Structure 1
Amino acid sequence: MLFHVRMDVNLPPSMPEAEAAELKRVERDKAQALQASGKWRHLWRIAGQYSNISLFDVDSVDELHTMISTLPLFPYMTIQVMPLCRHPSSIRDDDK
């Protein structure tokens, strides 16, 4: 199942810089591992915002929820999830 996910991050201004840097480092490692697994298919930054648009390819909504909710930055995110399905007018048979 494919999902389009928008994640907007809002770290508290009072968070110490060193704590924020470590949180971002751990988040990066986790995101890269999920990308390497093939579950997190694409990751794009939204220019000018601390936000991203991602495509996930998972077996269920529950799997997506578990993946997203275990991200280190999850407590600081506003997340929008949109399930995707192939459009009947698409000229492509795959996601390439």
Structure 2
Amino acid sequence: MLFHVRMDVNIPRDLPVEQANEIKAVEKAYSQELQRQGKWRHIWRITGQYSNISIFDVESNEELHNLLQGLPLYPFMNIEVMPLNRHPSSVRDDDS
């Protein structure tokens, strides 16, 4: 199942810089491992914002929910999820 996910990050200004940097480092490692596994297919930064648009390829809503909750920055995020379906006008037979 493919999902379009928008993540807006709002780290509190009073969070110590060292703690924020540690969370970001763990987040990067976690997200890169999910990318290597093929579950986090694409990630794009939204210009001028601390936000991203990502495409996930997972087995279920529950799997996506668990992956998102596992993000170290999850407590500081607003997340929008949109399930994706193949469009009948697509010229491709796959997700390339």
TM-score range, shorter chain: over 0.9
> How far apart in 2 are the matches of 1:73 and 1:94?
32
**Aligned-pair distance for 1:78?**
0.1
Describe the SS at the equivalent of 1:13.
coil
Alignment deviations for residues 17-44 of structure 1 (CA, whole Å, 9 cap, x no partner): 1111110000000000000000000011
1:8 aligns with 2:8: yes
SS at match of 2:62: helix
CA RMSD in angstroms comes to 0.4
Instruction: Determine whether 1:74 maps to 2:74.
Output: yes
Give the secondary-structure state (helix, strand or coil) at the position aligned to 1:15.
coil
**d(CA) in 2 for partners of 1:28 and 1:45?**
14
Number of equivalences:
96
TM-score by length of 1: 0.99
Where in structure 1 are there 5+ consecutive unaligned residues?
none
Aligned partner letter, 1:40: W
Partner AA of 2:63 in structure 1: E
TM-score computed with the length of structure 2 as normaliser: 0.99
Deviation at 1:95, TM superposition (A): 1.1
* Regions of 4+ moved over 6 Å: none
